[in-house]
Amino acid sequence: MIVTNQAGHTRLKGKPCCYLTYLSMRVCVLCMILLLSCLLNVASAQHLTLRNSSLEGKPGVKVAPTGWLVAANTPDVLPGVMGVFKSANAGSTFVGLQGGPVYREGIEQELTEPLVEDRTYSMSFDLAFNEMYGHKHCYGNLAIFGGSAPGDTAELLWTSGSFTDTAWRRWNAIFTPRQTHNYIALYAYPAETCPTSSFGVLVFVDNLSTIRQILRTELTATASCKNEGTGSVQVKVKGGAEPYTYLWTPGNYTTSQVSDLLPGMYSVTVTAANGVTAKGAVEVSASDLQTEKAVTISDCAGENKSAIALDISGGLPPYDLSLNGEETHARTFNHLRPGNYVFVLKDQQVCRDTFNIFIQEPAPLVINKIATEPCSCSEVNDGIIRWEVDGGTRPYKYRVNGEAWQPDSLQRNLKAGDYRYEVEDANGCADGGNTVITSPNQHCFVMMPSAFSPNSDGSNDVFRPRIYDAVTNYRLSIFNRWGSLVFQTSDPKAGWDGYSRGVAQTPQSFVYVCTFTTSKNEPKEYRGSVMLVK
């Protein structure tokens, strides 16, 4: 309790401790009210509604719409003046502003709340241009200024740049004041020289939106290895009240930077302490680390001339490369033997590319078999060489004694003698050797046997002439005793086995007729009989 004595002095009477507690409580309540007020101010985003945003007013010269002030010179409310009857894009009227290097028209109004420095704002409006407005104009250009008093253009916040669209078009301005402003002003603003007039800028303005506080974000990402989560994303934020909260999807990460990510699209929602939000998306691309491989295989087996050339690109150089477990700085590898070559490539992001290259040379070119057929007699050239070849690379070619190459594995019309033969494949791989073509008889002749015994004992089982000549136009016909044809052939190597129409003939005498042309081009005909015996 507080009392006052006769001298006018006050003193504390009664329970002083309780009284101090009461004062402390009042102080705490006041502090809580102040703190709550601060929190409430921070917890709400700043959105500024302009008075008369559709710029309605009485058409006239050197006037501003209701709720707006003339900032400079003679802005006009349209349509209906200066010969302009263009329809407003919102409501009934709009504003016309013109200007030049030394002359600018503008309107302004005091804001319900100031634009705060370092916060980012967004607003939209409709703009149009008209060439004739009392005189000719060159372009339109709108400037937005911030100031602290009427007529103050302390800071240029945004400018549209030159345009000449005569139809209404929606524009969006984003700006971040460097200082706090209580006024906002709209001006026609010179951007370039107009040769037709010193007042060559004309802009029509209508339909302004609320000035909304937004966040300014910058998203970046680093690539990820193709099969590993090594990518990252980061968002940088300006323009809102700190602290910021973050939510990334997919993954529900809550930090401004996230690492160890697989390739893909990532979206983030950023919320400032005053409730302003921003959304964005960024792609974590797959690392473009790649290797182009050029492989050269030896033409022939055993040459060991195979080679591998690597062209490495992308990723994050410099690169680390190993071959079969050993580090190497080479990119070209020559004189390789057949086998498996394992490469491991890494970049500075530790992205890895492992690949195998199997070197397999062609199989060796091998002449498996060579067969010869002798000349019929020494007077003719009808010897033959036949090859059977495997391996290498097809097609093959053949030649004897250095003569012209031929594609056929059967070479005919050879005379008796010694031969050096060669075989090559498509890559020039070669094999060769020597052989002999013989001639069993000195002179050429044809001899007809008088009997044969088709008893399958391997001796004299078929009837055919013994031909020691290069005959042509050959025909052998055999008839039974009644004159019926039992066998006929035009192949000098074919003979009669004693069967006719699948029936074995009984021992008896048969008549033959054999015609041919000799190697000396002489026609011959042999007639006679042959005995079939068992």
Strands 523-532 and 451-452: parallel
Query: Mapping DSSP to helix (H, G, I), strand (E, B) and coil, where does residue 415 land?
Result: coil
Nearest of 137, 148, 149, 153 to residue 190 by alpha carbon: 137
- Is the pLDDT reported for residue 295 higher than 70? yes
Average pLDDT over residues 219-225: 91
Position 14 confidence tier, pLDDT thresholds 50, 70, 90: very low
Residues contacting 48, CB < 8 A, separation 6+:
111, 112, 113, 115, 121, 210, 211, 212
Lowest mean pLDDT among 20-34, 137-151, 212-226, 336-350: 20-34
Residue predicted with more confidence, 304 or 37: 304
The string of pLDDT tens digits covering residues 302-312 is 999 999 999 99
- Is 508 found in the same domain as 401? no
Residue 46 is classified by DSSP as -
Q: For the residues 236-263, what does the mean pLDDT come to?
A: 92
Report percent pLDDT > 90 for the chain. Answer: 79
Q: What is the pLDDT of residue 8?
A: 41
Q: Does any domain span residue 291?
A: no
Give per-residue pLDDT as tens, 367-426: 999 999 999 998 899 999 999 999 999 999 999 999 999 999 999 999 999 999 999 999
Cα(486)–Cα(260) distance, integer angstroms: 93
Q: What value does the mean pLDDT take over residues 5-18?
A: 39
Q: What is the DSSP letter of 50?
A: P
Number of domains in the chain: 6
Q: Is residue 290 part of a domain?
A: no
Are both 279 and 404 inside the same structural domain? no
Are 29 and 161 members of one domain?
Answer: no
What pLDDT does 21 receive?
A: 42
Cis omega before residue 75 (within 30°)? no
Q: Are residue 113 and residue 222 in the same domain, yes or no?
A: no
379 and 485 housed in the same domain: no
HSE, CB side, 13 Å, CA atoms: give it for residue 185.
28
Query: Is residue 47 situated within a structural domain?
Result: no
Contact 288/315 with Cβ under 8 angstroms? yes
DSSP state at residue 139: B
- In terms of domains, do 119 and 254 share one? no
| Predicted pLDDT at 533 | 95
DSSP 178: S
Range with lowest mean pLDDT among 104-113, 191-200, 332-341? 191-200
Statement: residue 37 has pLDDT above 80: no
The pLDDT assigned to 19 comes to 37
**pLDDT at residue number 326:** 95
Range of the domain at 322: 297-359
**Confidence category of residue 276, pLDDT binned at 50, 70, 90:** confident
If DSSP states are collapsed to H, E and C, what string results for 218-285? EEEEECECCCCCCEEEEEEEECCCCCCEEEEECCCECCCEEEEECCEEEEEEEECCCCCEEEEEEEEC
DSSP code for 491 = -
Going by pLDDT thresholds of 50, 70 and 90, the confidence category of residue 17 is very low
Q: So what's the pLDDT on residue 212? A: 93
Q: What is the CATH number of the domain that holds 431?
A: 2.60.40
387 found inside a domain: yes
Q: Is 205 part of any domain?
A: yes
Q: Is 195 part of a structural domain of the chain?
A: yes
Q: Is 27 helix (H, G, I), strand (E, B) or coil?
A: helix
Which contacts qualify for 159-164: CB closer than 8 Å, 24 or more apart? Answer: 159/189, 159/191, 160/127, 160/203, 161/191, 162/191, 162/192, 163/127, 163/129, 163/139, 164/129, 164/139, 164/140
Q: What is the CATH number of the domain that holds 484?
A: 2.60.40.1220
pLDDT of residue 44: 66
Name which of 281, 284, 283 is nearest 270 in CA terms. Answer: 281
Please name the residues in contact with 324: beta carbons below 8 A apart, sequence gap of 6 or more: 341, 342
In a domain, 486, yes or no: yes
Q: Has residue 98 got a pLDDT over 70?
A: yes
Question: Helical H runs in 414-513?
Answer: none
Domain boundary among 284, 309, 343: 284
Q: Is residue 50 part of a domain?
A: no
User: Within 10 Å of residue 493's Cβ, how many Cβ atoms?
Assistant: 8
Beta strand pairing call for 320-323 and 326-328: antiparallel
Question: How far is the C-alpha of 116 from the C-alpha of 121, rounded, in Å?
Answer: 9
Q: Residue range 55-73: average pLDDT? A: 95
3-state secondary structure of 287: coil
CA distance 274 to 41: 8
**CATH of residue 88:** 2.60.120.260
Confidence check: pLDDT of 9 > 50: no
CB 276 within 8 A of CB 239: yes
Q: How confident is the model at residue 442 (pLDDT cuts 50, 70, 90)?
A: confident
Of 185, 213, 241, the domain-final residue: 213
Sign (positive or negative) of CA dihedral 164, 170, 174, 180:
positive
151 and 104 in a single domain? The answer is: yes
Instruction: Give the residue ranges of DSSP H helices in 313-393.
Output: none
pLDDT category of residue 111 using cuts at 50, 70 and 90: very high
Cis peptide before 454 (omega within 30 of 0): no
State percent of the chain over pLDDT 70. 92
CA 61 to chain centre: 61
Residue 240 sits in the same domain as residue 261: yes
> How far apart are alpha carbons 498 and 507 in whole angstroms?
9
Cβ atoms < 10 Å from Cβ of 37: 10
Distances (CA, A) of 352 to 56, 264, 401, 450: 66, 19, 58, 87
- The pLDDT assigned to 125 comes to 98
Q: Which residues of 425-463 are buried (b: 16+ CB within 10 A; e: fewer)?
A: beeebebeeeeebebeeeebebebbeebbbeeeeeeeeb
* Positive or negative: CA dihedral 82, 83, 86, 87: positive
Chain center to CA of 71: 57
- Listed residues 388, 410, 437: the one ending a domain: 437
> Which residues lie closer than 8 Å to 93 by C-beta, 6 or more apart?
55, 56, 57, 58, 59, 65, 77, 78, 79
The letter for the amino acid at 75 is P
For all residues of the chain together, what is the average pLDDT? 89
Residue 157 has pLDDT above 90, yes or no: yes
Q: What is the pLDDT of residue 225?
A: 87
The answer to whether residues 77 and 153 belong to one domain is yes
pLDDT the model gives residue 198? 87
Which amino acid is it at 519? Answer: S
Q: 168 and 72, same structural domain?
A: yes
Residue 45 banded pLDDT, cuts 50, 70, 90? confident
pLDDT band for position 11 (50/70/90)? Answer: very low
Both 6 and 142 in a single domain?
A: no
Give the residue-averaged pLDDT of 252-268.
95
Same domain, 301 and 322: yes
